[in-house]
C-alpha cells in the first residue's frame, strides 16, 4: 500500500498551498513538461488531447453559426502593427521581434503575432469590395506569442494555442449582434462541455481590449476563490476599418467602412478546468473533454479469463473513449493513477465479478462505487457520464454562489475582499480613477459589469458618488 | 454568355504557360491571397477547408497506428539547434531569428522552428528513462518557417503548415519499421484520399535529410511532367540520441541510446492536387478532400417551387458535403464558378426536371452529364463520387506511366530529359560525384531509388562504372 500511495503523496494539498497544488497536478497528471525555452511548455499527449476535444467541439459550434476557418501568417511587419494607435500601445511592449531571415538582416523587423487584428484588417482591405462580400466571419486556430515576464502552465505562457475569430459586417448593429452571439457560444460551451459556470458581462474602459469599443467577457471562479477570465469577445466598431481602410460599396453605391469584431479562447481553459474541478487526489476531468472517459482495471489479471473479460467490456463500451490498464502495476497504483489523471469512471473487474456477471463502477468526481450488471454496463456508463457532468456543474455553481458576496459600504467591501475568497458584487460610479483606487487599496480588480444588472444601492461603494453599474470585483489570475 | 465566360477567360491555358496557369488557378479558385508579409500567404476558406480535410483523414490514419499528438514550442534556442552538426548546417542558413522579446534584447537568440528534431530530442532526453517508456510515437500539427528566397503558393513559402511525427524506439529494427510504416501510410493516403499515385523509394546520400541515416520519399508526377516530393520519412538511427543524450535503461539494466525517426507532410499536398488533377477550366478536386462535393444549381430559380426543390435535394444529400447556389448570378456563371473551384458534382434542377421527377448531374472531372431520377439521387451521388475518385486516380496513373521512360545510354538519357516530360528510370553507380555531374549537365536530379528495383543494365548511365541502383530521375519543384 505504501507504494500505491506514492503518486498521491507527491501532491501538495490545495488547502496548504493552492499554487503548488496546481503545479503538482499539471505535472503529475502528465499534461505538460517544461522546456529549454523559458516560459514555453510542451503539451504532452494527455494535455494536448484535452485541447483537441475542446477544439473539435468549439469548432463545431462555430461552424453552426456560419464561421469559416482560414490561416494567416504568423509574422506582422512593424509598420502594420503600428497602424492602430491603441492597439500598438497595448501590444508592442510584449512581442517577440524577428530581425534576421537566414543570414541577412531584415529591412523591416516583424513581430510574431500576439493577436491578428492587424493582419486580418490588411487582408480584408484587399478582400472586401462590395456589400455582397459581407459579412466575413472568419476564424483561425493557431499559436500566438506574448513576451510575459511571469509565466505559469496554461494560465500565462509566452506561447499559447488559441482560436481567434475576426469578422467584418456592413452595420454596427450586426457587429454588436455577432460580438454577443460569440460570447454566448463561449458561455454555453463552458457550461455544457467543461461543466463550468461563468458570469457574462462587459469589461470596463480600463480593462477592455487595446483598440476595442467594447469588450465582453466570461469570468469563472476557481476553487481558491480567484477569478479567471475565460474568453473575450470584442466589438471594434469602425475604428480598425478607418485605420486600415477597410471599405465596401453599399447597395446605394456609397463607400462605407465595415464594422468589426474579434473573439478568442485559449489553452487557458485547461487551467480553468483544473482549478474549478480538481481535488487533492489530482485532476477531475469533465466527461466531455476527458480523452479517456472510462478506465477498465482488471483485478487479479493473471487469473484465466480476467483480461479477456476486460477486453470484452472495452468492446462493449466502444462508443465511449475507453482503455484497459493491462500494465503490470498493482491495482492500487492503477487506481491512484486513474484518479490523478482525472478519468471520470473506473470499471473494476475480477474473477468474483465475472462469476456474478457484474462489475464495480467508481466515479472520480465523488468516489461513489456502483455495482453494475455487465449486460447493463453500456447504458449505465452513458447515464453516469451525463450525471457526472451535471453534478460537476452544479457543484461548481454552488461553490460560486457561496463565494459571491454583496458589499454596500466601503468597510464591508474591504473586509470581504481581505477575508473571504470569491467575487464581491458592488455598485460603481463608472470612473476609471475610482476603479484604480479600489485596485490599489485592495488588490481587487473589476472582473465585469454583468449583463444581469442589479441595484444594490444608489451610490458607488468606494467614492459615494451616484452609482452607474453593478460590478463583479475579485482577485484574478 | 460573354459575361459567364469571364471567370474562365482569366486563366492562362496549361499548354501555353503551366506556371502561370497554376498561379491563376490558385487565385481564381479562391484558395489563397497574397499578404504584406513577403513569401507568406493567406489560406482562404476554400483553401484551408482542403487542409482541414487532409488533416482530419491523415490524423485518423496516424492514430490507427498508435500515434499521439503533442505540441512543442515554436522557438529553438541557438545552442539547441547547434547540437547536431549536419542538422545545423542544413537549416541554419534558412531560419528566421528572434533577437528581442518585448523591449529587451534576448541573451541568446532563438530561431522559429524550421522543423523540430532538436526540440523533440531535448524533450525526450528528460521524458524517456526506461524501456517501459518506449516507444514514443508523437506527432504535432503546426506551422514552420524557412526563409526561402523564391516562393510559390503551397509549393514553397516562408511559412507553411504541416505535421511532423517524431518517434523514439528501443531498437534499430523498430525505428526502421516505423520509418517504412509511415511512408506507407503517406502513400496509401495519397492514393486513397488524393487520388494521386506515388513512387515510393529512398533518397540518395546527397538528397537525404540533414542529420538522417536514411530518408524515404514519395514522389508524384505533376501534369507538366515535373516531379513533386510529396512526403518524407527519416530514420535517424541513434545519431541525434548521441548528440542530445537520449538514453534509456534496458530490461538488462544497461544504459542504451534510443533510435529515432521523423516524418512529415505539408500544405504542399494542395499544390500537388492542383497540378495532378487540374485542367483549363480550373481546379479538379478529388471527392474525399473537396470541401463541397456537390453544388446544386437551380435553373430558372425565380419560378415557384424551384428553390424549394433545390433545398429538398440538399436535404436528401445531407450525408455528403453539399451546397445550393441560390445567388442571383446566372446559371452559366454558376457553372463556370463550380468548375473553377473544382467541385466534383453539379446537380442542375429546373421546372421541367421537377415535372419529370429527375435532375441533371454533371461530373467535373470529365464533363459527363447524367440524367438521374430524383428518388435515386442519393445512391447515385455516392456511387459517382467513388467512380470519380477511381477515374481520377487511373487517369493520373496512366499519365505517369506514359511519362516514365527508360534510358540505358547517356545520349538516350540526355535526349529524353531534354525533350520529354516526366521521369527517367536509369541505372546509377551510387557515387555522389556522378549524381552531381548528371544534375549539372541536364538539370535532372535523383528523385529516389525506388523500393521496386529493376535491372535495366549492368552499368551506370553516366559514368559506365558498375551500377548499384536503379534511380528515378526528373526535374523537380
Three-class secondary structure assignment of B178-235: HHHHHHHHHHHHHHHCCCCCCEEEECCCCCCCCCCCEEEEEEEECCCCCEEEEEEEEE
* Helix/strand/coil for B455: coil
CA gap B354, A390 in Å, rounded: 49
Cβ-Cβ contacts under 8 Å for A326 (sequence gap 6 or more): A298, A301, A307, A310
pLDDT tens per residue across span B220-233: 999 999 999 999 99
Set of chain B residues whose Cβ sits within 8 Å of the Cβ of A126 = 33
Contact assessment for residue A162 and residue A266, using Cβ atoms and an 8 Å cutoff: yes
Burial zone of A173 (CB within 10 Å; 0-12 exposed, 13-18 middle, 19+ buried): exposed
Look at residue A417 and tell me whether its pLDDT is greater than 70. yes
pLDDT value of residue A284: 98
Whether residues B147 and A80 touch (CB distance < 8 A) is answered with no
Average pLDDT for chain B: 96
Min Cα distance B174 → chain A (Å) is 21
Whether residues A37 and B110 touch (CB distance < 8 A) is answered with yes
Mean pLDDT, range B194-217, rounded to an integer: 96
In the 3-class helix/strand/coil scheme, how is chain A assigned residue by residue? CHHHHHHHHCCCCCCCCHHHHHHHHHHHCCCEEECCCCCCEEECHHHHHHHHHHHHHHHHHHHHCCCEECECCCEEEHHHHCCCHHHHHHHHHHCEEEEEECCEEEEEEEEECCCCHHHHHHHHHHHCCEHHHCCEEEEEEEEEECCCCCCECCCECCEEEEEEEEEEECCHHHHHHHHHHHHHHHHHHHHHCCCCCCEEEECCCCCCCCCCCEEEEEEEECCCCCEEEEEEEEEEECHHHHHHCCEEECCCCCEEECEEEEEEEECHHHHHHHHHHCECCECCCCHHHCCCCEEEEECCCCCCCHHHHHHHHHHHCCCCCEEECCCCCCHHHHHHHHHHCCCCEEEEECHHHHHHCEEEEEECCCCCEEEEEHHHHHHHHHHHHHHHHHHHHHHHHHHHHHCEEECCCHHHHHHHHHHCCCEEEEEECCCHHHHHHHHHHHCCEEEEEECCCCCCCCECCCCCCECCEEEEEECEC
Task: Tell which residue, B237, B254, B247, B234, has the closest CA to residue B127.
Answer: B247
Set of chain B residues whose Cβ sits within 8 Å of the Cβ of A103 = 93
CA gap B126, A33 in Å, rounded: 9
Whether residues A70 and B44 touch (CB distance < 8 A) is answered with yes
pLDDT tens per residue across span A353-389: 999 999 999 999 999 999 999 999 999 999 999 999 9
Cβ-Cβ contacts under 8 Å for A208 (sequence gap 6 or more): A214, A215, A234
Residues in chain B: 477
Look at residue B186 and tell me whether its pLDDT is greater than 60. yes
User: Predicted confidence band at A1 (pLDDT cuts at 50, 70, 90)?
Assistant: very low
What are the distances in angstroms from CA B201 to CA B228, B229, B397? Answer: 13, 11, 17
Whether residues A99 and B100 touch (CB distance < 8 A) is answered with yes
Set of chain B residues whose Cβ sits within 8 Å of the Cβ of A138 = 45
Picking from A41, A53, A66, A96 by the largest number of B CB atoms within 10 A of its own CB, the best residue to mutate is A96
Strand segments, DSSP code E, in B113-176 are 136-145, 159-169
Whether residues A99 and B95 touch (CB distance < 8 A) is answered with no
- Give me Rg for the CA atoms of chain B: 25
Whether residues A123 and B93 touch (CB distance < 8 A) is answered with no
Set of chain A residues whose Cβ sits within 8 Å of the Cβ of B35 = 72-73, 119, 122-123
Look at residue B386 and tell me whether its pLDDT is greater than 80. yes
Whether residues A42 and B80 touch (CB distance < 8 A) is answered with no
Look at residue B418 and tell me whether its pLDDT is greater than 80. yes
pLDDT tens per residue across span B303-358: 999 999 999 999 999 999 999 999 989 999 999 999 999 999 999 999 999 999 99
Whether residues A75 and B37 touch (CB distance < 8 A) is answered with yes
- Give me Rg for the CA atoms of chain A: 25
Phi/psi of residue B396, each to 5°?
-65, -40
Phi/psi of residue B298, each to 5°?
-75, 135
Look at residue B366 and tell me whether its pLDDT is greater than 80. yes
Look at residue A3 and tell me whether its pLDDT is greater than 80. no
Look at residue B91 and tell me whether its pLDDT is greater than 90. no
pLDDT value of residue A8: 57
Set of chain A residues whose Cβ sits within 8 Å of the Cβ of B94 = 102
Set of chain B residues whose Cβ sits within 8 Å of the Cβ of A97 = 98-101
pLDDT value of residue B88: 86
Mean pLDDT, range A121-138, rounded to an integer: 97
Of A35, A68, A122, nearest to B123 by CB-CB distance is A35
Contact assessment for residue A472 and residue A446, using Cβ atoms and an 8 Å cutoff: yes
Whether residues B69 and A48 touch (CB distance < 8 A) is answered with yes
What are the cell numbers at B471?
Answer: 534511380
pLDDT value of residue A84: 85
Whether residues A37 and B112 touch (CB distance < 8 A) is answered with no
Min Cα distance B122 → chain A (Å) is 8
Whether residues B98 and A96 touch (CB distance < 8 A) is answered with yes
Of B95, B99, B123, nearest to A42 by CB-CB distance is B123
Residue B108, H or E segment: strand B104-112
Look at residue A213 and tell me whether its pLDDT is greater than 70. yes
Of B42, B68, B73, nearest to A37 by CB-CB distance is B73
pLDDT value of residue B7: 57
CA gap B199, B217 in Å, rounded: 8
CA gap B248, A381 in Å, rounded: 39
What is the CB neighbour count within 10 angstroms for residue B42?
24
User: Predicted confidence band at B6 (pLDDT cuts at 50, 70, 90)?
Assistant: low
Whether residues B80 and A35 touch (CB distance < 8 A) is answered with no
Whether residues B123 and A71 touch (CB distance < 8 A) is answered with no
- pTM score of the predicted model: 0.96
Q: What is the DSSP letter of B321?
A: -
Set of chain B residues whose Cβ sits within 8 Å of the Cβ of A56 = none
Contact assessment for residue B58 and residue B269, using Cβ atoms and an 8 Å cutoff: no
Q: What residues does B75 pair with on adjacent strands?
A: B112
Mean pLDDT, range A337-361, rounded to an integer: 97
pLDDT value of residue B85: 84
Burial zone of B150 (CB within 10 Å; 0-12 exposed, 13-18 middle, 19+ buried): exposed
Min Cα distance A95 → chain B (Å) is 5
Between these two residues, A454 and A1, which has the higher pLDDT value?
A454
Mean pLDDT, range B287-298, rounded to an integer: 98
Of B36, B71, B94, nearest to A43 by CB-CB distance is B71
Min Cα distance B404 → chain A (Å) is 37
What are the distances in angstroms from CA B84 to CA A279, B87, B212? Answer: 43, 5, 11
Sign, CA dihedral A57-A59-A63-A67, equals: positive
Question: In what order do the strands lie in the sheet containing A96-101?
Answer: A75-77, A104-112, A96-101, B96-101, B104-112, B75-77
Set of chain A residues whose Cβ sits within 8 Å of the Cβ of B102 = 93-96, 147
Min Cα distance B105 → chain A (Å) is 9
Mean pLDDT, range B250-262, rounded to an integer: 97
Contact assessment for residue A83 and residue A243, using Cβ atoms and an 8 Å cutoff: yes
Contact assessment for residue A139 and residue A67, using Cβ atoms and an 8 Å cutoff: yes
What are the cell numbers at B188?
Answer: 496509401
CA gap B263, B215 in Å, rounded: 9
Picking from B56, B102, B145, B164 by the largest number of A CB atoms within 10 A of its own CB, the best residue to mutate is B102
Look at residue B427 and tell me whether its pLDDT is greater than 90. yes
User: Predicted confidence band at A86 (pLDDT cuts at 50, 70, 90)?
Assistant: confident
Whether residues B68 and A52 touch (CB distance < 8 A) is answered with no
Look at residue A410 and tell me whether its pLDDT is greater than 70. yes
Min Cα distance B231 → chain A (Å) is 22
User: Predicted confidence band at B376 (pLDDT cuts at 50, 70, 90)?
Assistant: very high
Average pLDDT for chain A: 96
Phi/psi of residue B442, each to 5°?
-125, -15
Of B42, B76, B94, nearest to A123 by CB-CB distance is B42
Of A72, A103, A112, nearest to B98 by CB-CB distance is A112
CA gap A199, A400 in Å, rounded: 10
Picking from A50, A67, A70, A245 by the largest number of B CB atoms within 10 A of its own CB, the best residue to mutate is A70
Whether residues A72 and B126 touch (CB distance < 8 A) is answered with no
Cβ-Cβ contacts under 8 Å for B379 (sequence gap 6 or more): none
Whether residues B36 and A145 touch (CB distance < 8 A) is answered with no
Look at residue A6 and tell me whether its pLDDT is greater than 60. no
What are the cell numbers at A362?
Answer: 467508481
CA atoms within 13 A of residue B445's CA, in its CB half-sphere: 16
Set of chain A residues whose Cβ sits within 8 Å of the Cβ of B69 = 45, 48-49, 52
Closest chain B residue to A329 measured between Cα atoms?
B132
Q: What is the DSSP letter of B82?
A: T
Min Cα distance A57 → chain B (Å) is 14
* Helix/strand/coil for B26: helix
Contact assessment for residue A426 and residue A407, using Cβ atoms and an 8 Å cutoff: yes
Set of chain A residues whose Cβ sits within 8 Å of the Cβ of B160 = none
Mean pLDDT, range B183-203, rounded to an integer: 98
User: Predicted confidence band at B130 (pLDDT cuts at 50, 70, 90)?
Assistant: very high
In the 3-class helix/strand/coil scheme, how is B251-264 assigned residue by residue? CCCCEEECEEEEEE
pLDDT value of residue A87: 83
Set of chain B residues whose Cβ sits within 8 Å of the Cβ of A74 = 40, 74, 112, 143, 145, 159
Picking from B66, B68, B70 by the largest number of A CB atoms within 10 A of its own CB, the best residue to mutate is B70
Question: In what order do the strands lie in the sheet containing B159-169?
Answer: B68-69, B136-145, B159-169, B259-266, B227-237, B214-221, B199-202, B445-450, B469-474, B423-428, B404-406
CA gap A276, B86 in Å, rounded: 48
Set of chain A residues whose Cβ sits within 8 Å of the Cβ of B27 = none
pLDDT value of residue A348: 98
What are the cell numbers at A418?
Answer: 481581505
Closest chain A residue to B71 measured between Cα atoms?
A43
> b/e for B436-448, b at 16 or more Cβ within 10 A?
eebeeebebbbbb
Mean pLDDT, range A60-73, rounded to an integer: 98
Burial zone of A286 (CB within 10 Å; 0-12 exposed, 13-18 middle, 19+ buried): buried
Whether residues A37 and B77 touch (CB distance < 8 A) is answered with yes
Whether residues A35 and B143 touch (CB distance < 8 A) is answered with no
Q: List the end-to-end C-alpha distance of chain A, in Å, as a whole number.
A: 38
Whether residues B80 and A123 touch (CB distance < 8 A) is answered with no
Set of chain B residues whose Cβ sits within 8 Å of the Cβ of A161 = 71
pLDDT tens per residue across span A181-196: 999 999 999 999 999 9
Min Cα distance A106 → chain B (Å) is 10
Amino acid at each position: 500500500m505504501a507504494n500505491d500511495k506514492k503518486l498521491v503523496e507527491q501532491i501538495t494539498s490545495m488547502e496548504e498551498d493552492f499554487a503548488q497544488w496546481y503545479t503538482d497536478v499539471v505535472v503529475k497528471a502528465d499534461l505538460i513538461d517544461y522546456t529549454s525555452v523559458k516560459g514555453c511548455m510542451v503539451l504532452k499527449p494527455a494535455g494536448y488531447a484535452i485541447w483537441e476535444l475542446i477544439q473539435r467541439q468549439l469548432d463545431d459550434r462555430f461552424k453552426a453559426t456560419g464561421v469559416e476557418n482560414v490561416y494567416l501568417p504568423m509574422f506582422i511587419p512593424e509598420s502594420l502593427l503600428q497602424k492602430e494607435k491603441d492597439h500598438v500601445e497595448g501590444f508592442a511592449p510584449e512581442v517577440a521581434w524577428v530581425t534576421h531571415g537566414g543570414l541577412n538582416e531584415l529591412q523591416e523587423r516583424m513581430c510574431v503575432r500576439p493577436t491578428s487584428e492587424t493582419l486580418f484588417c490588411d487582408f480584408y482591405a484587399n478582400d472586401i469590395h462590395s456589400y455582397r462580400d459581407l459579412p466575413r466571419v472568419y476564424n483561425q486556430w493557431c499559436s500566438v506569442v506574448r513576451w510575459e515576464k511571469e509565466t505559469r502552465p496554461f494560465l500565462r505562457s509566452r506561447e499559447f494555442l488559441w482560436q481567434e475569430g475576426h469578422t467584418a459586417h456592413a452595420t454596427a448593429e450586426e457587429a454588436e449582434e455577432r460580438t454577443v452571439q460569440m460570447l454566448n457560444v463561449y458561455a454555453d460551451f463552458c457550461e455544457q462541455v467543461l461543466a463550468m459556470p461563468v458570469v457574462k458581462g462587459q469589461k470596463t474602459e480600463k480593462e477592455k481590449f487595446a483598440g476595442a469599443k467594447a469588450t465582453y467577457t466570461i469570468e469563472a471562479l476557481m476553487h481558491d476563490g480567484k477569478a479567471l477570465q475565460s474568453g473575450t469577445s470584442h466589438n471594434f466598431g469602425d475604428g480598425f476599418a478607418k485605420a486600415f481602410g477597410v471599405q465596401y460599396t453599399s447597395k446605394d453605391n456609397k463607400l462605407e467602412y465595415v464594422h468589426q469584431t474579434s473573439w478568442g479562447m485559449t489553452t487557458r481553459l485547461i487551467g480553468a478546468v483544473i482549478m474549478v474541478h480538481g481535488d487533492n487526489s489530482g485532476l477531475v476531468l469533465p466527461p466531455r473533454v476527458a480523452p479517456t472517459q472510462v478506465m477498465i482495471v482488471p483485478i487479479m489479471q493473471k487469473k484465466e479469463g480476467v483480461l479477456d473479460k476486460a477486453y470484452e467490456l472495452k468492446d462493449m463500451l466502444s462508443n465511449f473513449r475507453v482503455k484497459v490498464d493491462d500494465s503490470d502495476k498493482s491495482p492500487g497504483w492503477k487506481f491512484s493513477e486513474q484518479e490523478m489523471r482525472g478519468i471520470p469512471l473506473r470499471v473494476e473487474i475480477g474473477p468474483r465479478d465475472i462469476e456474478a456477471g457484474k462489475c464495480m463502477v467508481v466515479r472520480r468526481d465523488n468516489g461513489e462505487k456502483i455495482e453494475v450488471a455487465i449486460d447493463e454496463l453500456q447504458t449505465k456508463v452513458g447515464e453516469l457520464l451525463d450525471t457526472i457532468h451535471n453534478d460537476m456543474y452544479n457543484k461548481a455553481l454552488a461553490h460560486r454562489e457561496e463565494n459571491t458576496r454583496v458589499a454596500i459600504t466601503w468597510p464591508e467591501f474591504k473586509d470581504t475582499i481581505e477575508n473571504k475568497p470569491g467575487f464581491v458584487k458592488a455598485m460603481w460610479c463608472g470612473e476609471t480613477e475610482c476603479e484604480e483606487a479600489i485596485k490599489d487599496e485592495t488588490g481587487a480588480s473589476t472582473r465585469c459589469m454583468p449583463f444581469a444588472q442589479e441595484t444594490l444601492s444608489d451610490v458607488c461603494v468606494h467614492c459615494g458618488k451616484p452609482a452607474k453599474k453593478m460590478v463583479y470585483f475579485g482577485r484574478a489570475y
